[in-house]
Each structure stands twice: as C-alpha cells, then as structure tokens.
Chain A
Amino acid sequence: MTSQVSSPAEQADDADDVVVGEQRGAPSQHGAEKEIRRLERVIIRFAGDSGDGMQLTGDRFTSETASFGNDLSTLPNFPAEIRAPAGTLPGVSSFQLHFADHDILTPGDAPNVLVAMNPAALKANIGDVPRGGEIIVNTDEFAKRAMAKVGYATSPLEDGTLEGYHVHPVPLTTLTIEALKGFGLSRKEAERSKNMFALGLLSWMYHRPTEGTEAFLRTKFAKRPAIAEANVAAFRAGWNFGETTEDFAVSYEIAPATNAFPPGTYRNISGNLALAYGLIAAAHQAELPLFLGSYPITPASDILHELSRHKNFGVRTFQAEDEIAGIGAALGAAFGGSLAVTTTSGPGVALKSETIGLAVSLELPLLVVDIQRGGPSTGLPTKTEQADLLQAMYGRNGEAPVPVIAPRTPADCFDAALDAARIALTYRTPVFLLSDGYLANGSEPWRIPDPGGLPDLGVAFATAPNHRLADGTEVFWPYLRDPATLARPWAVPGTPGLEHRIGGIEKQDGTGNISYDPGNHELMVRTRQAKIDGIEVPDVTVDDPDGARTLVLGWGSTYGPITAAVRRLRAAGEPVAQAHLRHLNPFPANLGEVLGRYAKVVVPEMNLGQLATLVRARYLVDAHSYNQVNGMPFKAEQLAAALKEAIHD
C-alpha cells in the first residue's frame, strides 16, 4: 500500500489469487521433500476470542512480513468490549494481513487462509473465505458446548460445512501444552501461548523470518524470563509442527516487493503512529513546543499514548477531565505559543464544537484530530466510518469555516499532520484532520523520511507594534491582517508592549476591541470565510490513462479500495478516471474544472453521501454516491462491480 508509488494498471491488484509456476522441493529436517510454491500475494486472517491474542499475533506476523520486504496492508477488527463474553460471536477478534511481492492497496477482500482459534471465530469468518481457501482450526476448542454457544448443532469440522475448503485440523492447545511441559507452567498459563504456536506454524508456511519475533518476546517478557522462553518455545514448536507434519505438505514463498518501493529505508507503520510522529515532526519543523490536550476515546487514544512517551522532545500531554477541557487546554496552550493539538473521535468533536468556534473567532492555530468511527452517538467505537465530514465542515454555530484535511493511507497520516500544521500556523486557524479507524489501526510500509527534507514550518511571532495612531502613538492591533494570507499576528504572552485581549465576542476589524457594529460583523464574517477560502492547497491530480468518461472521486481512507477497484476495471478494459481529495476545505482550485470534464462522477464513501452533497452543492455536478456504512472498509471487488454498473448506467 505504498501511496508514493503510482503502480501501472497492468497489475490487477486484489484480483483472484494467482499461483505462479516454479514449484520446487526442499529437504525437510526429516529428509522428506516438501513442496514450495511461489505466490504473488496472500491474505491471511487470524481470528479468535478477544482474549486469544489475535491482534498481537497479527502484529508479529506483520512485522516479520515487513522486515522480509513484502508490501503489505493490514485490517485489525475487534470488538469494543475489552473482554467480550468468551466464545461468543460478538467476542471474536480478528486481524487480516495482505502481503505481496508487488504494490498492493488494501488489506484484501477475502482471506486465502483463515486461522480459527475456536468455533465462534470459524463461524464469524467462514463466510468471507472463498471455497478452496485454507482453514486452520484449533480442534481442541470444538467441544460440544463451545459449538452450541454459536449455534453449531453438529461439528462443522465433520458435518460437511467445510466441504470445498482445504481444512487443517490442528489441536493447537494440546500441542502447545505438550511443547511447554518442561517449563513448570500451569495448564492455563501454557495454554496462553497457543497464539505463538499458531504464529510459528504460519511463519513456517510462508517462510517468514523469525528472529524478530523471538527478540520481541524476550523484550516483552523481560521481567518474566520463564514466560518469554515458553512463548519462544511455543513459537518454535509451531514452526517445527509445520515442518514435520504431513498435513502441511506445501509451504509458500512470496518474494520481496522490490519493485513496489522506491529506494530507501522502510518500516511498517500504523496510521495513529504515523499521525503522532507527524505531530512531533511538525512541532520540530515549526520550532514550537507541542501540546496535546486530549480525553481518552477509541480509536484515537493511541495518539495520546504515543505522544506521552516522547516528553524528551518537549512534548506536553494533558489528559483532561473531558473532551471540552482537552481542546480548551490546547487552545490555552496555542494562545501561549505552542503547536497545540487535540485528538478525539466523532462524539468528542460534538463536545468540542463550541471551543472550535472560539478558536475560529480567536484565530489561533489549533489542530483538531478526529479519528472517525461508526456513529451516530457512541455508535461503533472500534469500527471505521467517514461520517464526520459534514460535522467537521459545518458542525458549529454561526459562520465558522474550518479547513479540513484527510489522509489517504496509514503512512500518509504523517504527511497530512504536517500539512494540517502548515495551514494552522500560516493562517492562524483551527484545522480538522480527519483520519478514521481503518487508517488508525491499519498499517503499511513507510519510507522513512529524512528530517532534513521536511518542510519548514517556521512561524514569526509578533514582537512590535504594528499600527500608528493619528497622534503618532505606536500600538499593537491584534486583528490587523497579513494582506496575503489574511492571518492575524500571533503575539504571545510575555511579549512586552503587545498586551491585548481577545475573545469570542465579535471584534472590531483591526483593533480587536468588542464591536456590535452591523457593518463590522458583516466584514468580519466575510473576512474569516475569505481567509479559509484563500488557503493555498495543491490542485487535485487526475489519474486517467485512457480518456475515460467516468470519474471516481474519493477522499480519505477509501483511497486504497478505490484505487484497487480502478485497477481491476482497467485490467478488464473499462476506462475509468480517478481523483482523490486530501483537502476538503477549501477544495483544490481546479476541482470544479476537473469535475466538469467528465460525463459522470461517482463518489464512493463510507457514509451516506457527504462529499457528494458538498460537491453537488458547490459545483452543481450530478455526482452519484456509492455508499457503505457497515463499519468496514470497502472491498475492492464489490466496489469495482458497483463502479462498473455506474459506468454503464
């Protein structure tokens, strides 16, 4: 999912899996030849109970895969409950990983391999696995009661439910306990390592490097070396099980995605981590201290956690008493000269609205990071959605325009944070950064930037009076604007001679004094709007190699699925143009012209048509919506089908 690479359309990403030639044998340690096949790409889904450690397992497999050099994209999917009732369908936690020897864009539609740790995991996920897929089940958990709990009257392992699948029944629990016999652990403790056994087995199947995971386990359990070694042993036992058991006759190689990546040093990164790094980098480039005021909320809390670990960068993190105090403290810090940020999700934005309005009126830089999730109200805390766009655009009293920026991939969250900071600092305005749960928790390879190449975000505080009164007195006017940007001066407390008062009451143009004058209010409302409208944003680029009639317009995290769908269509001979927006307010200056070039505009969104509404209102374009609000990202195949229908409609 390397966004920096524009891959040629000949690569039908996410198309049905292709097994390419070159089968060869390799001697196993028992001397028997085991077949090795080469694949271009694989989608694996680990699924188990919330307490089974599936997210950790997925993370480790991802790290192994990243260090091996495949391109990859991940989709963690877990319930909002910390420990949902064991063995139930709502308690299933899964982690899907798509990795390939080429540039890929999504975590994949349908898993080729499902690892099901219990009957609930099997039942919840089997529908997504096409016939012919491989299913590794932990047979130990398929007791009558556990099966009955999820509605299996008979064992799906025996009653034909899994006919057509390539099933590997593995007693994972028993094997793990057996492997850890010498470790003096209780049965319960030993059982907990079964996810590492599964990871070992999958690592063998796909020839993953293992050193990283072993080192990780020893670091993670540094204070409990016995547990560390037990996990390493379970991991190795899983590997050896694959190597020796006849049931696993084939293993697979997926070559590094050498051509998918420009030269450079890479790491794997999730959206929230990239966003946190982007904020630290922005403060560094602006030479301002970073201040985060935040209240814990899923799926944004990881940014608070991450930033709180970097106090040595001068980062101040403030866990407030509520969402309102989180942004309030940030605004206070902005007044004091910090690069100020608040992080939240949709419900938190609702609470912060009044303070965002105040920031609009005060014209202070402030980043409002919204990691969108399913709504309304509490909605789906751990699932993704893009339904806060109109809230970000319009969710305030009065005319209160705020720039809106949306990253398109997990790694892009880094660049988007820098861009949001640029706008906030240059134009002295609050800025919305709209990520979402899919980007936040998903991950992909990221070419590590050279700090020397990052943009200069330097800000000049006001230091001297900026206006001469008729009597010759030099004074400071806090609302005297820069004619180019319409930004007002940022004079921070501690600057002698520039003492001034600002507030949420309408201010007189220039002086900033309270003013209820009708003409002045009209001027100030229009000026604030003009300032946002005048923000410099790059033109939107259109990818249209075939001179298509239909344009697909997207924004934010749908970039991966839309691009994958577009590749499929082009591979099938359907011309289609694609444009993707980072800047939702203001729109790129050329957007109207771009839209006007196409007979048809289709806007896929994970909401009920919010960008489409904006585009229709602004450009009088008959934009067609394609919407999905099931808490999950689009699947490329479905999207391609829908786009095809739209093209021929």
Chain B
Amino acid sequence: MTETTTPPAHGEGDGTAHGAKPGPAPAAKSGPAAPAEPPGALKLVPRAEAPQTMKDFKTDQEVRWCPGCGDYAVLAAVQGFMPELGVARENIVFVSGIGCSSRFPYYMNTYGMHSIHGRAPAIATGLAASRPDLSVWVVTGDGDALSIGGNHLIHALRRNVNLKILLFNNRIYGLTKGQYSPTSELGKITKSTPMGSLDAPFNPVSLAIGAEASFVARTVDSDRKHLTEVLRQAAHHPGTVLVEIYQNCNIFNDGAFELLKDKQQAQEAVIRLEHGRPVRFGTDDTKGVVRDPATGELEVVTVTPGNEDRVLVHDARATSPATAFALSRLADPDTLHHTPIGVYRSVDRPVYDTLMSEQLDTAAEQQGRGDLGALLAGTDTWTVAG
C-alpha cells in the first residue's frame, strides 16, 4: 500500500479524521478560493478548491424520466444549487432507494448509490455515521420512504443522523405504473383500486414531526426559487433533514398539485411559512392563521384590524413541535387547500454521528488507543513452557 492510498486511519478516535480521506485531512483541503467555513452540517466537509458550476454536477448519462416529469425540475434545482455550497464534489454522496425519483443519483456527478427499495436511509446512516467528512443526501419517493421504507425513515429522523432526505411526493406509484401510494387521497381510483383506495394517507410533514425530526420542510417542484431556498437551509442544518417536495407525475397522477401551482388559485391555497413572520396569505394577505384560544387548534381567518394581533407568528425554532404539527394539519388532505410550504421546523438537537465520534474520542482518552496485543491477551492467562 502506497502513501497515497492510505485507507481511513485505524484506531483513531477523533471525529474528523475518520474519513477514508485519500489525501490531506478535511481542514487542510480549504483552498484560498473557498469561502469561510460554513456552520452546521458541512463543518467537517472539505471545501471545493475552485468555484463550481451547475455543469460540474451533471453526468453524461441520459436522463430517463418521462418528458414533463416534475423530477426534471428538482434535478435542475439541485444541480443549480450545489455550486453555492462550495463543498468538494467528491465529498458529496447521493443515496437513493427504488422508484422513479431514485434514479436521481445517476444524474449527479458526485458519488452515488442507487440501492434497494426503502433502505436508502439505513444505508446512508451507515455512510454518514462512519464518514463525518461527507455531505450525504437521500433521494426517495412517497412509496419508497413511507411504505416499504417507513421504518428506516422514522428512525433516521429520531436519531438525527447528518442526512438530507429529499422526499419526492407525487402521491402515486409511478415506476410500477400507477398504483395508489401511502400519500394518495382516500378513495383514489387506480389500477389496484378500481373501486377506490381504502386507506387513509400519511401526511409526511406530520409524520416527520411526530418522529422527532429536527428539520422539516415542504416545497413544490415547479417553484425553483422556493425549492432552492429550502435546500439552502436544509444543506446547512446539522442532523436529519426531511424536505417533502410536491412533485407532479404527469403520467399517472397529473395535476395532483395544480391547485398549489395555478397562479390564481395558489394565492388562496398556499401558505408560505417564513420564520419570524406572521402567517398570512391570500390576495393582498387578507387571510391569516390564528390559534383558537379555547382548543389551541389553528384556523384560517380573514384578517381584520380586530384580529390582526392574533395572527400566528411562525417560529420554526420553537422547542415544542406542537405548533409546527398543527400547521401541518391545516391543509385539506384531499384538495390540499391551505397547504403551508417552507420550513416548518428547524431546531438544534444532538447529531447522531457527532455523538458517535465523541464517544470514540472519549473512549480513546479514557482507555488509551486500542492495543491489539493487550486486548487479545486479556487478563486471565497461563503459560505453557516449551
């Protein structure tokens, strides 16, 4: 083994040098072109040595989604946004499961793994927990994340591993050609439910908040500006991020989010959440969200001088998830009328992989670096003379 192929250092207890970093340690990689060290999730990720462009993140693979698919817009937004992170491209990894959206890694010129159905959060957990010098992204869909992979999703969220999960929700199974999904509305008529689906849908934002997620957001494929702003906040959040992206499947569930996209209707249907701002929407901001003092529930009202001071001010950093959860319940599950988009919740919580690295450090401090000979010998031995 030559010096340049040194694998990850063995027996090192510090959280930073654990990366299987061929070459210098993460910090040393910062070139003069790199901006100041970013906070949070990317703290340990090496900076790019030179400015990057969207082109750097495109691969030579032909994109094979159906023409008109919402996935194209998300791909373009992600590729367009990545350069501004200023992170070394080789330290970015996209991991996906199975489904249309899960082809995403093939089109990102980073490291990537297209894994198996529902398991991407588990695989990414192992990668992120063993390599704090990576920015790890999970791309998943409503079937992948919430049906077959539901268990891994909730546990990733509760652990708060340093993962950025992009959940493309089109409320339908696309790759298997049009069965209802765990986010399809009740009574959905599909190939597998000719008389209408019988199961109530999940609300991914509610689910994530219930699973102790430290960062939960929702955005829409066609709103590039909003999508990019959410990604920006997500990328820097230390811990697990869940971004639900409403994404149109123009083949099997076309127009599922039309209410939120149509300029005219969206005014009344979409509630844009901004941290520290009153939750107001509608034409000329005539509508607002207030809390019913008797029940604590949130409701939409027409704002008047008499109730204006009761309009909820959005606090994504609130310790209690109660209001964020209440916001996630505002929308009508069938029509999506009154859908809040933006960052619902963004709180600081201990990050799993950081804690894991710290335990390794502590163990090394308390017991000394591992000594294989001493370990194997133990304390109860006897000797047979020659």
A residues contacting B by CB (< 8 A) are: 63, 66-69, 212, 258, 261-268, 277, 280-281, 283-284, 286-289, 291, 293, 310-316, 318, 320-322, 324-325, 328-338, 340, 354-355, 357-358, 362, 448-451, 458-463, 492-505, 513-514
CA of A321 to CA of B90, assembled, Å: 29
Shortest Cβ gap from B138 to chain A (Å): 11
Chain B contacts for A328, CB-based, 8 A: 115, 119, 122-123, 125-126, 152
The 8 A CB mask of B14-29 against A (1 = contact, 0 = none) is 0000111111000000
11 interchain pairs (CB within 8 A)?
A263-B386, A267-B377, A289-B20, A293-B126, A312-B363, A320-B122, A461-B7, A463-B4, A463-B22, A493-B127, A500-B112
Q: Are A333 and B112 in contact (CB under 8 A)?
A: no
Q: Which of A262, A264, A495, A503 contacts B22 (CB 8 A)?
A: A495
Q: Kindly state whether residue B320 has any CB partner on chain A within 8 Å.
A: no
Q: Are B12 and A501 in contact (CB under 8 A)?
A: no
Q: Kindly state whether residue B381 has any CB partner on chain A within 8 Å.
A: yes
Q: Which of A266, A267, A281, A501 contacts B372 (CB 8 A)?
A: A281
Chain B contacts for A500, CB-based, 8 A: 111-112
Q: Are A451 and B376 in contact (CB under 8 A)?
A: yes
Q: Are B377 and A333 in contact (CB under 8 A)?
A: no
Q: Which of B111, B364, B376, B383 has the most CB of A within 10 A?
A: B376
- Stretch in B70-78, B128-136, B202-210 with 4+ CB within 8 Å of A: B128-136
Shortest Cβ gap from A397 to chain B (Å): 11
Chain B contacts for A322, CB-based, 8 A: 151
CA of A288 to CA of B356, assembled, Å: 17
Task: Knowing A324-B122, A328-B126, A502-B113, say if A63 contacts B359 (CB, 8 Å).
Answer: no
Shortest Cβ gap from A303 to chain B (Å): 15
Q: Are B113 and A289 in contact (CB under 8 A)?
A: no
Q: Which of A263, A267, A501 has the most CB of B within 10 A?
A: A501
Instruction: List the 3 shortest-distance A-B pairs measured between CB atoms, nearest first.
Output: A337-B20, A503-B114, A329-B126
Q: Which of A280, A332, A334, A498 has the most CB of B within 10 A?
A: A332
Which B residues, 96 to 133, have Cβ-Cβ distances below 8 Å to chain A? 105-106, 108-116, 119, 122-131, 133
Chain B contacts for A67, CB-based, 8 A: 380, 382
Task: Knowing A289-B18, A325-B119, say if A318 contacts B8 (CB, 8 Å).
Answer: no
Chain A contacts for B383, CB-based, 8 A: 264-266
Q: Are B10 and A336 in contact (CB under 8 A)?
A: no
| CB closest chain-B residue, reference A332 | B126
Chain B contacts for A289, CB-based, 8 A: 8-12, 18, 20, 130
Q: Are A266 and B384 in contact (CB under 8 A)?
A: yes
Chain B contacts for A333, CB-based, 8 A: 126-127, 129-131
The 8 A CB mask of B363-385 against A (1 = contact, 0 = none) is 11011111011011110111111
Q: Kindly state whether residue B141 has any CB partner on chain A within 8 Å.
A: no
Chain B contacts for A463, CB-based, 8 A: 4-5, 22
Q: Which of B1, B23, B46, B122 has the most CB of A within 10 A?
A: B122
Shortest Cβ gap from A198 to chain B (Å): 21
Shortest Cβ gap from B225 to chain A (Å): 28
Chain A contacts for B95, CB-based, 8 A: 332
Q: Which of B6, B9, B384 contacts A263 (CB 8 A)?
A: B384
Task: Knowing A66-B382, A502-B114, say if A288 contacts B372 (CB, 8 Å).
Answer: no
Chain B contacts for A496, CB-based, 8 A: 23, 88-90
Chain A contacts for B1, CB-based, 8 A: 287, 458-460
CA of A324 to CA of B118, assembled, Å: 10
CA of A71 to CA of B193, assembled, Å: 68
Q: Are A499 and B372 in contact (CB under 8 A)?
A: no
Q: How large is the interface on B (under 10, 10 to 19, 20 to 34, 35 or more residues)?
A: 35 or more
Chain A contacts for B363, CB-based, 8 A: 310-312
Q: Are B384 and A501 in contact (CB under 8 A)?
A: no
A interface majority secondary structure:
mixed
CA of A381 to CA of B11, assembled, Å: 34
Chain A contacts for B125, CB-based, 8 A: 318, 320, 325, 328-329, 332
Q: Kindly state whether residue B176 has any CB partner on chain A within 8 Å.
A: no
B residues contacting A by CB (< 8 A) are: 1-2, 4-13, 18-23, 46, 59, 61, 88-93, 95, 105-106, 108-116, 119, 122-131, 133-134, 151-152, 155, 356, 359-360, 362-364, 366-370, 372-373, 375-378, 380-386
Q: Which of B113, B134, B151, B381 contacts A501 (CB 8 A)?
A: B113
Q: Are B369 and A312 in contact (CB under 8 A)?
A: yes
Chain A contacts for B376, CB-based, 8 A: 277, 281, 448-449, 451
Chain B contacts for A358, CB-based, 8 A: 115-116
Task: Knowing A63-B380, A358-B116, A451-B376, say if A497 contacts B90 (CB, 8 Å).
Answer: yes
Chain A contacts for B111, CB-based, 8 A: 335, 493, 499-501
Q: Which of B7, B12, B129 has the most CB of A within 10 A?
A: B7
Q: Are B7 and A265 in contact (CB under 8 A)?
A: no
Q: Which of B105, B124, B133 contacts A494 (CB 8 A)?
A: B133
Q: Are A501 and B105 in contact (CB under 8 A)?
A: yes
CA of A291 to CA of B378, assembled, Å: 22
Q: Which of A287, A322, A330 has the most CB of B within 10 A?
A: A287
CA of A331 to CA of B95, assembled, Å: 12
Chain A contacts for B8, CB-based, 8 A: 288-289, 337-338, 492
Task: Knowing A289-B8, A325-B125, say if A354 contacts B116 (CB, 8 Å).
Answer: yes
Chain A contacts for B152, CB-based, 8 A: 321, 324-325, 328
| CB closest chain-B residue, reference A513 | B61
Q: Which of A258, A312, A334, A513 contacts B370 (CB 8 A)?
A: A312
Q: Which of A262, A331, A492, A502 contacts B126 (CB 8 A)?
A: A331
Shortest Cβ gap from A456 to chain B (Å): 9
CA of A497 to CA of B22, assembled, Å: 12
Q: Are A69 and B22 in contact (CB under 8 A)?
A: no
Q: Are B61 and A332 in contact (CB under 8 A)?
A: no
Q: Are B369 and A332 in contact (CB under 8 A)?
A: no
Q: Are B384 and A503 in contact (CB under 8 A)?
A: no
Q: Which of B2, B124, B125 has the most CB of A within 10 A?
A: B125
Known: A311-B363, A324-B122, A492-B8. 5 other contacts (CB 8 A): A314-B12, A358-B116, A458-B1, A463-B4, A503-B115
Q: Are A284 and B372 in contact (CB under 8 A)?
A: yes
Q: Are A494 and B126 in contact (CB under 8 A)?
A: no
CA of A312 to CA of B109, assembled, Å: 36
Chain A contacts for B151, CB-based, 8 A: 321-322, 325
Q: Are B155 and A325 in contact (CB under 8 A)?
A: yes
Chain B contacts for A451, CB-based, 8 A: 372-373, 376
Q: Which of B11, B366, B369 has the most CB of A within 10 A?
A: B11
CA of A141 to CA of B179, assembled, Å: 65
Q: Are A450 and B7 in contact (CB under 8 A)?
A: no
Chain B contacts for A503, CB-based, 8 A: 105-106, 112-115
| CB closest chain-A residue, reference B357 | A316
| CB closest chain-B residue, reference A69 | B382
Q: Which of A66, A315, A460, A492 contacts B20 (CB 8 A)?
A: A492
Shortest Cβ gap from A160 to chain B (Å): 44
Task: Knowing A329-B125, A332-B122, A494-B134, say if A288 contacts B113 (CB, 8 Å).
Answer: no
Chain B contacts for A266, CB-based, 8 A: 381-384
Chain A contacts for B126, CB-based, 8 A: 291, 293, 318, 328-334, 336, 340
CA of A267 to CA of B5, assembled, Å: 37
Q: Are A448 and B381 in contact (CB under 8 A)?
A: yes
Q: Which of A66, A267, A277, A314 contacts B360 (CB 8 A)?
A: A314
Chain B contacts for A332, CB-based, 8 A: 95, 113, 122-128, 130
Chain A contacts for B109, CB-based, 8 A: 499
Q: Are A314 and B10 in contact (CB under 8 A)?
A: yes
Chain A contacts for B90, CB-based, 8 A: 493-499
Q: Are B18 and A314 in contact (CB under 8 A)?
A: yes
CA of A503 to CA of B113, assembled, Å: 5
Chain B contacts for A318, CB-based, 8 A: 125-126, 129, 356
Q: Are A261 and B13 in contact (CB under 8 A)?
A: no
Q: Are A312 and B382 in contact (CB under 8 A)?
A: no
| CB closest chain-B residue, reference A293 | B126
Shortest Cβ gap from B357 to chain A (Å): 9
CA of A313 to CA of B384, assembled, Å: 29
